[in-house]
Structure 1
Amino acid sequence: MCTASTDSLKQKMAEYTGKVEKSLAKFPERKNLAYNRLYTPLDIEGLDYEKDLSFPGQYPFTRGVQPTMYRGRFWTMRMYAGFSTAEESNKRYRYLLESGGTGLSCAFDLPTQIGYDSDDAIAEGEVGKVGVAIDSLADMEILFDSIDLGKVSTSMTINAPASVLLAMYIAVAEKQGVSPDKLNGTIQNDILKEYAARGTYIFPPKPSMRLITNIFEYCSKSVPNWNTISISGYHIREAGSTASQEIAFTIADGIAYVDAAIKAGLNVDDFAGRLSFFWNAHNNVLEEVAKFRASRRVWAKVMKERFGATNPKSWMLRVHTQTAGSMLTAQQPDNNVVRVALQTAAAVLGGTQSLHTNSKDEALALPTEDSVRVALRTQQIVAYESGLADVVDPLAGSYYIEALTNQIEKEAWEYIGKIDDMGGAVVAIEKGYIQREIQESAYKWQMEVENKQRIIVGVNQFQVAEKPIEGLLRVDASVGELQKKKLADLRARRDNGAVADKLAALEAGCKDENTNLMPLILEAVKVYATLGEICGVMRKVFGEYEAHVSL
């Protein structure tokens, strides 16, 4: 833009603002709006198309990581599911695939997430409640019965015991005749966000980071098409962060993982192309679009400029997205269908590679088959009927979108700089900095809701009298007893001498920091050592993490 046109536009903008100010007494605006009233070319002065945007599939990937995005292939429609037993979850997975789902996303129950068997006293009352109970390879075999792991892409939301669940998946595939190099999928494997926002950790940071880098190394050679980590902003956002904090804290975690892998002797281009991210699709559609675009640009610069990665695949931020569970309401749950549709549009306009849509009843219980089908159909309608997937990055060039992309990127870099100054994400978490920032943002949001500065339809405005919701999916307490019996039967029929030998080998490996633990875990899994037994060995050597946050 030349100086003359800029000066003229500034003058006209001043005139416009003056007219608006005069009308505000009669037509006041809503209060507490986050962004400017109007965006013009003045808000994107200095934007360099080739440097800041470029073309889809080209550095810095602001406009997407693939040249044609959804014109050739839609995002993976990966519905998150898992509850009760492996048998019940297998039925749901097969139903989803038969209904047009193109990938699976596994939810595990709380005992599984923190490395306990279903018959452990600490698991009492939690077995199968928030996901499927997986105690051993025997359960994993049932979970994927009649599902060809050579053809389906599977994501597993598992962190502290990710190495064990990945080993079980590899073992099941081998039993199906599918070699590890043919497997496609993702393990979340993001322990830093567990310390900061979610809480399903087991071991202290140092051995946890070792397990993660062991997975990077093992998969780079043996499971090359597997995404070895899904660096997760989703749970950071669910805990109450802002959009800028979500990408800043998550990318700071990503920097820590890359640093750890390089220090362990890995070449950045050998593993960086298999790193993936996990974003939340929140309610503010245009802010979310800008967040997705800004995140790709930040990561590309981090990988190219900070770590010196030379393979363009190492610069790409590839992302799975889930619609915002924290934005679902127990009041008037039918309204959640609309919320999820808008969040789906945000993820698609933002350029996600994979998407899970929440079901309308998830603020109340695990989703029913009917509500899951509506959630999947929401993705399919956006894909096939809305036109949003027909053009690559269709909102590019909007003064608002480009200005907001720049703003979110700027705010993210400021947070990353602060975290760098502290010594990185691990130190920032240990000091409680990231936790405090999230808590303060969550508190601010909640106060805005309670003061009606932020309207949540059906919650603090537009309420109606409602009858109790019927037909919700409940997990019966008998699931825990069933899993206990299965474990007792397993221990009676397996070769317990072989189990003891493999666990002893794993313990010795844990004590040697130069040993990659993945082959040892895989060997233990194959003789039907249980999740709790394997994690118990690692607990014995590594200890357990206890949070100490000064607030």
Structure 2
Amino acid sequence: MIEQKPTEPSVKQGTLFDKAELERLTVNKAEWEATAVQKSIERVPERKNLMTTSSVPVQRLYTPLDNQNLDYTRDLGFPGTYPYTRGVQPTMYRAKPWTMRMFAGFGTAEDTNRRFKYLLQQGQTGLSTAFDMATLYGYDTDHPKAAGEFGKCGVAISSLADMEILFADLPLDKITTSMTINSPAPVLWAMYIANAEKQGFPMASLGGTLQNDILKEYIAQKEFLFPPEPSLRLVVDTIEFGTRFMPKWNTISISGYHIREAGATAVQELAFTLADGLAYVDAALERGLKIDEFAPRLSFFFDVHNDFFEEIAKFRAARRLWARLMKERYGAKDPRSMMLRCHAQTAGVSLTAQQPENNIVRTAIQALAAVLGGTQSLHTNSLDEALALPTEKAALIALRTQQIIAHESGVANVVDPLGGSYFLEELTDQTERAALAYIEQIDSLGGVLACIQNGFFQREIAESAYRYQQEIDAKKRVIVGVNEYVMDEEVPVPTLYVDYEGQKVHLERLNRIRRERDQGAVREALDRLRCAAEGTENTMPFILDAVKAYATLGEIMDVFRTVFGEYMEPAVF
């Protein structure tokens, strides 16, 4: 800690501003409002309904009066030190830029492997994998419920054979891989591990992130399979396994992104995400893990919406609040346990089918906010994603957006360059206070699982989404090209077409694997997995054995369906 010199007049009682100076500023501000502001308003009235994207009113001007209780050491600190408000690394992007991790996945494993290689050739620095709907729900591609969904929202993976092709000829020990998968996350992770080991990469050398956040599925995205309790058990199985055997892997990415996409405000996104994080911490502690064993590998995933300053404040408030919770609630000692490390993605829900080229501008602004907010990795959405999966050209524009920010804008040259802004610091404080109030309310209602069952999260998000849409419909909020500056003519945009010849190739491979594998080994592996699921053992070693025997995704998930049952969400009014 660097102590302030006693001769510096700006510091008094731990705050940044002198009390007498603040009193003078109060008088001066009142005079300014009564004269200059009043004359300006009489000449040109101010616009009404000025607010953030989350409908939080904003003041005309922010001054030291809004930061008069700010204590630099307590509330900001230096980058890389508690409470990490200004960043989790001392030098941030001066050392190296954030990981540029473009979300990719469509069609067959071959299709997506080619897209991975193309993006890496264009300067992408990490892989991010999207899976199709059948895979997300734990079905093989030939299951009746998978009909019509092949490769449309991501790549189709039915067995280890697909995973071998998906990551063929990629340096898995040198790049990190993110996988957006939740209910079937342990199985897809096991396939990734098994493939890497077959290629000569030991599991301990692998780095990456498994989304694996099942709680937010019940809250927002709805791609759950089993009841919350056994689902949470599977998440803890992966956390425990990763803690023991894969020190470079983030076994969970606690995801606010989907909560925000469902209609939550920035504060709700932050509060509900951190509440989920606390639930995972509690479950891991109950398993017998120690806080400083697993907390350093917890990671987060946030949305970046349109309101530039609100999003930057959200990232800063998230780091500070998480650090305080880890230290004060759980007694964490390892500084890494207190660091909130995150991936960010620009807001898919903000993209418009109308005038889709405007989405390039939206994405650029959102990406800049994520960088100024201090993200560790970033995906930028493509201009055509309101219409279809991104084409190669659209994905390249989105990647170039990040590269221009990194290398041409100058914002990566200084750590937390907006720190100290009167507006940003007040908005950071306001966001943290509001998020903490939500977390305390969730605790008082019995915790995250209770709030899932009683519909608290769903109601809060639905009300926010409804209010936001009302504001758009009433033109209190302008969406360019949607409710203002509308054009009659359509802007033609090429879209990606998923070739159903690919489905034929995929199904032929799936059927060949079923014919040629050792059927006895598959039955034995699935039986052992069933016994483990019925008991209390960690299921990951048994999933790995089943995957290596080429049991399919659907077969493994059917074991869990049999043991755990399927979940039906209660009606929420």
The TM-score, its normalising length taken from structure 1, stands at 0.98
The residue number in structure 1 matching 2:130 is 107
486-495 or 129-138, which deviates more: 486-495
Following superposition, the deviation at residue 25 of structure 1 comes to: 4.1
- How many angstroms does 1:487 deviate by? 1.6
Partner residue, 1:207: 230
On the 8 A contact 2:384/2:493 being kept in 1, the answer is no
Amino acid at match of 1:18: A
Deviations 1:125-162 (A, max 9, x none): 01111000000000000000111211110000001111
Report if the CA contact (8 A) 1:148-1:176 is conserved.
Answer: no
* Residue 458 of structure 1: aligned partner: 481
Deviation at 1:290, TM superposition (A): 0.6
In the alignment, which residue of structure 2 is the partner of 1:31? 48
Q: Per the alignment, in what secondary structure is the counterpart of residue 320 of structure 1?
A: strand
Q: Hey, what's the Cα distance between the residues in 2 that align with 1:351 and 1:127?
A: 36
Residue from 504, 514, 532 that aligns with 2:554: 532
CA contact (8 A) 1:457 1:463 kept: yes
- 2:24 aligns with 8
Indicate conservation of the 8 Å contact 1:431/1:549, yes or no: no
Question: Take 1:392 and 1:66, find their aligned partners in 2: how far apart are those partners?
Answer: 9
1:294-333 aligned at under 5 Å gives the runs 294-333=317-356
Instruction: State the distance in 2 between where 1:354 and 1:431 align.
Output: 34
1:519 to 541, 555, 564: 541
Deviations 1:138-197 (A, max 9, x none): 000000011121111000000111100110000011011000110000000000100010
Q: Distance in 1 between matches of 2:412 and 2:572?
A: 46
- For residue 156 of structure 1, give the secondary structure of its aligned residue in structure 2: strand
Check the 8 A contact 1:430/1:549 in 2, yes or no.
Answer: no
Superposition map of 1:396-411 within 5 A: 396-411=419-434
Q: Secondary structure at the match of 2:355?
A: coil
Check if 1:171 corresponds to 2:194.
Answer: yes
**Counterpart of 1:518 in structure 2: which amino acid?**
M
1:186 corresponding residue in structure 2:
209
1:345 and 2:368 are equivalent in the alignment: yes
Question: Per the alignment, in what secondary structure is the counterpart of residue 325 of structure 2?
Answer: helix
Q: Which string of whole-angstrom CA distances, capped at 9 and with x for unpartnered residues, describes residues 94-136 of structure 1?
A: 0011110000000000110110000100000011110000000
Note the C-alpha offset of 1:464: 1.3
Deviation of the 1:22 alpha carbon: 5.0
What TM-score does the superposition give when structure 2 sets the normalisation length?
Answer: 0.95
Deviations 1:438-475 (A, max 9, x none): 11111111111111110011111111122362421111
Aligned to 1:549: 571
Answering whether residue 33 of structure 2 is matched by residue 17 of structure 1, we say yes
Deviation at 1:2, TM superposition (A): 3.0
Contact 2:296 2:339 (8 Å CA) reproduced: yes
> Where in structure 2 are the equivalents of 1:408-423 lying within 5 Å?
408-423=431-446
Query: Are the counterparts in 1 of residues 458 and 572 from structure 2 also a CA contact under 8 Å?
Result: no
Q: Among 242, 267, 282, which residue is 2:290 paired with?
A: 267
Q: Distance in 2 between matches of 1:268 and 1:546?
A: 33
Within the candidate set 321, 326, 336, 2:359 is matched to: 336
Q: Give SS of 1:397's match.
A: coil
Q: Could you report, residue by residue, the CA deviation over 1:321-367 in whole angstroms, capped at 9, with x for unpaired residues?
A: 00111111111111111111101110000000000001111111111
Output the CA distance in 1 between the equivalents of 2:100 and 2:330. 32
CA distance in 1, matches of 2:493, 2:437: 48
Rounded Cα–Cα distance in structure 2 between residues aligned with 1:183 and 1:455 = 45
Q: Does structure 2 conserve the Cα–Cα contact (< 8 Å) formed by 1:119 and 1:483? A: no
CA RMSD of aligned residues (A): 1.0
Partner of 2:413: 390
Listed one character per residue, the Cα deviations across residues 284-314 of structure 1 (whole Å, up to 9, x for unaligned) are 1111111100000000011111011110000
* Equivalent-residue separation in structure 2 for 1:477 and 1:546 (angstroms): 32
Q: Kindly, what percent of the aligned residue pairs are identical?
A: 58
Give, in angstroms, the shift of residue 13 of structure 1. 1.6
1:291 aligns to what?
314
Residue 466 of structure 2 is matched in structure 1 by 443
Alignment of 1:107-146 (within 5 A): 107-146=130-169
Q: 1:152/1:3 Cα in 2 relative to 1: closer, same or farther (>3 Å)? A: closer
1:73 to 76, 96, 99: 96
In 1, the alpha carbon distance for the partners of 2:289 and 2:170 equals: 34
1:58 alignment partner, SS class: coil
Q: Secondary structure at the match of 1:221?
A: helix
Distance 2:105 2:564 in 1: 30
How big is each residue's C-alpha offset from its partner over 1:250-287, in whole Å with a ceiling of 9 and x where there is no partner? Answer: 00000000000001111111100000000111111111
Deviates more, 1:184-193 or 1:474-483: 474-483
Aligned with 2:172 (options 119, 124, 149): 149
Whether the 8 Å contact between 2:355 and 2:491 is mirrored in structure 1 is no
* Structure 1 residues without counterparts, runs of 5 or longer: none
| CA distance, structure 2, for counterparts of residue 537 and residue 379 of structure 1 | 43
Cross-structure match for 1:491? 514
In the other structure, the counterpart of 1:84 is 107
Q: Distance between the aligned counterparts of 2:22 and 2:116, measured in 1?
A: 57
Residue 355 of structure 1 aligns to a residue whose secondary structure is strand
Give, as a single letter, the amino acid of the residue that structure 2 aligns with 1:313: R
Read off the aligned partner of 1:165 and give its amino acid letter.
L
Q: Tell me the distance in 2 between the aligned counterparts of 1:545 and 1:262.
A: 25
Deviates more, 1:15-24 or 1:417-426: 15-24
Q: What is the SS of the residue equivalent to 1:548?
A: coil
Secondary structure, aligned partner of 2:43: coil
Task: Measure how far apart 1:500 and its partner are.
Answer: 0.5
Letter in structure 1 aligned against 2:530: E
Unpaired runs of 5+ in structure 2?
Answer: 1-16, 52-57
